[in-house]
Amino acid sequence: MTATVRGAGPSPAPVRRRATVRTLGVLGALGALVLLALVSVSVGSNPLPFGEVWNLLLHPDDGFASIVVHEQRIPRTLLVVVVGAALGVAGALMQSLTRNPLADPGILGVNAGASLAVVVAVAVFGVASIWFYLWFAFAGAALAAVAVYLLGGAGRQSPTPARLALAGVAISMAISALVQTVILADQNAFNEFRFWAAGSVEGRGYPVLFAVAGFIAVGLVLALSAAPALNALALGEDTGRALGVRVARTRALVMVAVTLLAGAATAAVGPIMFIGLGVPYLARAICGPDQRWVVPYSIVAAPVVLLVADVLARVVIAPQEVQVGIMAAILGGPVFIAIVRRRRIEAL
């Protein structure tokens, strides 16, 4: 008798369910993003009735309330969305590239490197323009990422998740000490640094948004284009090469994307942690490990989390504000603790 071999491929029903969950997750995040963007425009330290806000959105005038809505809240909301997408995707790329679920632009020192470069640029050249120190933020972010990766892999063929996290903490602490040294020695650097040391979007308008939006857009495009190659590399470098992936080219492409995203975001609002850690983790829980879904989901979901942090930062001690970076750390800290407390931290 001949045995009948059943199909070895996945059953159509689970595949359809997974696709449905992915689609609903992205649509749900998109709906939450639109809702929170409207809330962000409606809520602020200057209390305005909701009806007046909606009327001013459709019929702006020259009054004070219209200036608050159109020149403060709208550009601030757009900047939070853009920066949130940048940080979320940067974290997703770093986690996929390093096979490390603890990778994050903040935890691995990328944001700290960008901060140090900005502070040194202000102290040396005395210029506090976003267009000036944006390039220094890119350079600092790239150098910090390379330093953490080399330190985390010292003595081994490939860095482990735990060693990369420890290397990131070490680099961040060293950079923080250097930053404090520079700002204490230079009053101009201190005055510039204190506005965004904890991560703040207060007072950020269209000039800052326009300065970083193009770089972040390029970084997002690079991230989307690298997603299929990252999926192949998840099977191992040898398998990836067999599937036609150029490993060195893919790594360089991802590092350029991370540098653009994290560097521009840090230059715009200062260092913000945990957005790039928690959002990709949530995206993989909903969408699975496929980077073709994780990256788009991070683009939509990360701004949702940062908008929640920004809205809470405005109202928790109103009429004063808390820096959004502090609120993001309060929201993201428990996620980091939950991941670390797992019995085994596995590489992705």
Q: What is the pLDDT of residues 291-341, one digit of tens each?
A: 999 999 999 999 999 999 999 998 888 778 888 888 888 888 787 777 767
Signed CA dihedral, 296, 99, 110, 169: sign only: positive
Please report which confidence band the pLDDT of residue 2 belongs to, taking 50, 70 and 90 as the band edges: very low
* pLDDT average, residue stretch 184-208: 74
Rounded to 5°, angle at Cα 52 from 46 and 54: 110
- For residue 156, the model assigns a pLDDT of 56
Domain 45-51+62-340 sits in CATH at 1.10.3470.10
Name the residue with higher pLDDT: 102 or 346. Answer: 102
Name the residue with higher pLDDT: 82 or 145. Answer: 82
**pLDDT tens string 139-165:** 888 888 888 878 877 665 566 666 777
Percent pLDDT > 70 in the chain is 87
Percent pLDDT > 90 in the chain is 23
Mean confidence (pLDDT) of the chain? 82
The alpha carbon of 165 is separated from its chain's Cα centroid by a whole number of angstroms, namely 17
**pLDDT tens string 240-282:** 888 888 888 888 888 889 889 988 898 888 888 889 888 998 8
Q: Tell me which range, 10-14, 96-100, 188-192, is most confidently predicted by mean pLDDT.
A: 96-100
- For residue 336, the model assigns a pLDDT of 74
Does residue 325 contact residue 270 with C-beta atoms inside 8 Å? yes
> What is the C-alpha separation between 194 and 160, in angstroms, rounded?
35
**pLDDT tens string 21-68:** 788 888 899 999 999 999 999 988 777 888 888 888 888 888 888 888
Q: Which residues contact 65 (CB under 8 A, 6 or more apart)?
A: 46, 48, 52, 56
